[in-house]
Chain A
Amino acid sequence: MSLRPLTTPWFHGPAGHEKIWLGCAILWCFVMSLMMPYWHFRGKQNSSGETYTVTPAAFMARTEQFVAANTVGTYKNPNPANALMQELPIVEPPAGGDAYLIGRMWSWYPALRLRQGETYRLHMSSLDLQHGFSLQPLNMNFQVLPGYDHVLTITPTSKGEFTIVCNEFCGAGHHAMSGKIFVE
């Protein structure tokens, strides 16, 4: 009885259908436990959390240096609905090299131009609040924190224009915070 104390011995092992179910459930837990390490070694999409501490000022300086050395154009916002998105320099990192992306209230800076099939080390950090790097329409999402240089080793495999939206709440302009990645 579920509502009154048990006065008869109640300790016995599973049997019958319960044993079958327990076996299936444990097996399934085992499969799921193995999938993550398997994907870590054999899969291509992983969040390994490579991180360095960095002050916002230092990250800003590195980004400005990166922009000054690699700017290839200017992105003008064609969407009048988003008044927050200002002009952004379009910056192309060398293939295999480092790219820097700042998240701040309320834009991603700068815009990046990448080459399909090349691999880049994308450094992301915030100058103020927490932000969420959300690459659309691919729907890849990573967290960006102030004080931490979060490095993604990323290989674009599809061409086109991609939008970075912010998916961590960061104040009144959060919904309109955006950036651009162009892949050629």
Chain B
Amino acid sequence: MASSSHNLLAPGTPGRTCGTTGLGVCLDAQRFIKLNAVSGIVFLLLGGIAALLLALTRWQTVHLLPVDWFYRILTFHGINMLILWILFFEVAILYFACTTPLNARLYSRKVAWVSFGLMIVGAVMVDYIILAGQADVMMTSYLPLLAHPLFYLGIILVAVGTLVGVFNFFATLYVAKRDGAYTGSMPIVTFGALAAAIIAVVTLLHGAVVMIPTFTYAMGWTAQPDPAWYRLIWWGLGHQSQQVNVCAMVAVWYLLSHIVVGARPINEAVCRTAFVLYILFINLASAHHLLVDPGVGATWKIWNTSYAMYLAVLASMVHGFTVPAGVEIAMREKGYTAGIFGWVTALPWRNPAFSATALSVVIFGFLGGITGVTLGTQQINIIAHNTLRIPGHFHVTVVGGTSLAFMGLAYYVVPLIFQRDFIFRGVARLQPWLFGIGITLLSFGMSFAGSMGVSRRSWDIDAQGVYGPAAHLWLGVLGIGGILAFLGLLTFVLLCVGTLLFGAKIENRPMADWGTPPALAGSQPGSLAHDHYATKGTIVLTLVFLACFAVYYFANWKALADVWPVR
């Protein structure tokens, strides 16, 4: 009964055909995409409320929270944002990437339930124990700081649950290949998700290696693990999990630029090689956090912090070219050929999925990428380690980059999976801009205050009397950026929840179009397939990027040369 293009609808497998894209949707996968995505958004809201409280405390003039609650909420914020929101949403992305694009069905409903159950129990456990005041240890919980055992157990359950979900993803890929659900090579979106899943396995194994002995220590069963060892292995979890985000984010860039403007990678081989570089080299980057640590020598630091020779950075620079290049080619083929940047002005900037993607690429690349590589340079880290420059960096990678891209994805996932059109579409069009601008301001505030020596994770900067008005001013910028970003986040959550409850139902019709650039008269799809010099705008943009990178990089060497000689 099943046609070759609808293996998904084989006997006994509930499925439907999407009224917008014509693709098959596995209803099991759909259910777990919904569950995981909604849970993720709930944790995003919790983490966001915490973020607002923190921004209003670090804004020294406002200084909202008392000291104990500042560190408690900071722990809560890190766990909810960096672990819970991201992991739940990534499991949803994995379930999507292994089913619909391959016309495949989800391997197992039971396994998906086990995964979700473990994750949600662990998440509630860890959030409860933090708010109960039993785990004021920051997300990193550096030994000998010690939290209640349930804190570690909760994280272990979330990690194991995620691993189970990742197993379901691999099993789905295997079954789809074995049963011939698709022919040819898996699409780039699935390939990117596969790379993310592989990195996730390595990441979560690091998590098990470090968290289990810490849990047994907290229970009083075993001796305390060594603090330096803990840092090394913990960052195999902590840094690598962010590279899962990078991978998933890049996959979302390819997905959304394809959905919105019909972009495709200009060179699949190079793109896929870049994903493989992530898998091979990204785990070296746990060294970024140990650059001014005792116990590890210069050779180890230099080799690892450079990801062998910046090969993982190379991968990001490849995607940073390929994604806009794909968009440029698609736009030029649609007939938007004026000058170098004519295609840019014709882009659908009012489509929230597109603006979220574009902002994510720019914020991640220009701000997050450049600062990350520079701060992760062995010696430059001396003038950056544990200052606000560090959160200034990762709020433009994992928030302005990953979270914003995931928000963009939701503008298609919600209508396509939940089958309801968005409410207040005019507000939705502004949301990515509000969030993007807010998080950029926040990052600038953090980075400049950090350059003046203001440390991260500190409740009060006035105790020592060493920071002047400029540092206070930048903390004010941090506060205002935090408020704007929170409003952007709140708008996003309210739009999603409101749509799930009140959005117009989609039945047997396409979702309401967010706006895609139409092909102009006389244009020909595929006309530039063999023109390797058609991406004039992208090559200019990427060379500008490289120039900014070089200026920032060498300016930091100069700043380093001004401090005391040290060896």
- Lowest 9 CB-CB distances: which A-B pairs, in order? A16-B532, A167-B455, A150-B294, A29-B310, A2-B258, A7-B184, A176-B463, A44-B565, A51-B294
Complex CA gap A174/B67 in Å reads 10
Q: Which residues from chain B contact A13 at a C-beta distance below 8 Å?
A: 269
List residues of chain B with CB under 8 Å of any chain A CB: 21, 23, 67-68, 71, 100-102, 136-138, 142-145, 182-189, 226-228, 231, 254-255, 257-259, 263-270, 290-298, 301-302, 305-306, 309-311, 313-314, 317-318, 321-322, 325, 373, 377-379, 381-387, 451-453, 455-467, 531-536, 538-539, 542-543, 546, 549-550, 553, 557, 560-561, 563-567
A47 within 8 A of B: yes
Complex CA gap A26/B270 in Å reads 13
- Beyond the given pairs A45-B379, A139-B453, A176-B463, 4 more chain A to chain B contacts, judged by CB atoms under 8 angstroms and listed by A's residue number, are A3-B189, A39-B557, A50-B294, A148-B294
The proximity string for A residues 80-123 relative to B, scoring 1 for CB distances below 8 Å and 0 otherwise, is 01101000000000000000000000000000000000000000
Query: Which of A47, A129, A166 lies in contact with B566, CB distance below 8 A?
Result: A47
Query: Which of B101, B144, B383, B458 lies in contact with A5, CB distance below 8 A?
Result: B101
Complex CA gap A44/B562 in Å reads 10
Query: Which of B258, B291, B550 lies in contact with A1, CB distance below 8 A?
Result: B258
B464 touches A82 (CB 8 A): yes
Minimum C-beta distance from B24 to chain A (A): 11
A63 within 8 A of B: no
A79 touches B465 (CB 8 A): yes
B378 touches A145 (CB 8 A): no
Complex CA gap A37/B23 in Å reads 52
Minimum C-beta distance from A58 to chain B (A): 15
Complex CA gap A105/B62 in Å reads 27
A12 touches B464 (CB 8 A): no
Q: Which residues from chain B contact A158 at a C-beta distance below 8 Å?
A: 564
B293 touches A3 (CB 8 A): no
A132 touches B378 (CB 8 A): no
A24 within 8 A of B: yes
Minimum C-beta distance from B85 to chain A (A): 22
A70 within 8 A of B: no
Complex CA gap A12/B546 in Å reads 25
Minimum C-beta distance from B3 to chain A (A): 16
Q: Which residues from chain B contact A18 at a C-beta distance below 8 Å?
A: 266-267, 270, 321-322, 325, 532, 535
A51 touches B295 (CB 8 A): yes
A37 touches B302 (CB 8 A): yes
B183 touches A5 (CB 8 A): yes
List residues of chain A with CB under 8 Å of any chain B CB: 1-8, 10-22, 24-26, 28-30, 32-33, 35-37, 39-40, 43-51, 79, 81-82, 84, 128-130, 132, 134, 136-150, 152-158, 163, 165-172, 174-176, 178
A25 touches B314 (CB 8 A): yes
Q: Which residues from chain A contact B268 at a C-beta distance below 8 Å?
A: 6, 10-11
Q: List 7 A-B contacts (CB under 8 A).
A: A8-B184, A16-B534, A18-B266, A22-B321, A137-B466, A165-B464, A166-B455
Minimum C-beta distance from A25 to chain B (A): 4
A156 touches B546 (CB 8 A): no
Given contacts A32-B310, A46-B566, A147-B227, contact A130 B142 (CB under 8 A): yes
Q: Which residues from chain A contact B543 at a C-beta distance below 8 Å?
A: 24
A25 touches B317 (CB 8 A): yes
Minimum C-beta distance from B204 to chain A (A): 24
Q: Which residues from chain A contact B384 at a C-beta distance below 8 Å?
A: 141
Q: Which residues from chain A contact B265 at a C-beta distance below 8 Å?
A: 2
Chain A residue with Cβ nearest B302:
A36
Q: Which residues from chain A contact B295 at a C-beta distance below 8 Å?
A: 49, 51, 145, 148
Q: Which residues from chain B contact A175 at a C-beta distance below 8 Å?
A: 67, 458-461, 463
Minimum C-beta distance from A84 to chain B (A): 8
Given contacts A2-B254, A22-B318, A35-B557, contact A140 B379 (CB under 8 A): no
Chain A residue with Cβ nearest B258:
A2
A3 touches B267 (CB 8 A): no
Query: Which of A45, A144, A166 lies in contact with B563, CB distance below 8 A?
Result: A45
Q: Which residues from chain A contact B267 at a C-beta distance below 8 Å?
A: 12, 14-15, 18
Complex CA gap A5/B145 in Å reads 49
Complex CA gap A152/B564 in Å reads 11
Complex CA gap A32/B145 in Å reads 36
Given contacts A36-B306, A136-B466, A157-B564, contact A48 B452 (CB under 8 A): no
B138 touches A169 (CB 8 A): yes
B302 touches A11 (CB 8 A): no
B187 touches A2 (CB 8 A): yes
Minimum C-beta distance from A49 to chain B (A): 5
Q: Which residues from chain A contact B535 at a C-beta distance below 8 Å?
A: 16-18
B561 touches A43 (CB 8 A): yes
Complex CA gap A55/B186 in Å reads 55
A168 touches B532 (CB 8 A): no
Complex CA gap A14/B314 in Å reads 14
Q: Which residues from chain A contact B313 at a C-beta distance below 8 Å?
A: 29, 32
Q: Which residues from chain A contact B387 at a C-beta distance below 8 Å?
A: 134, 139, 141, 167
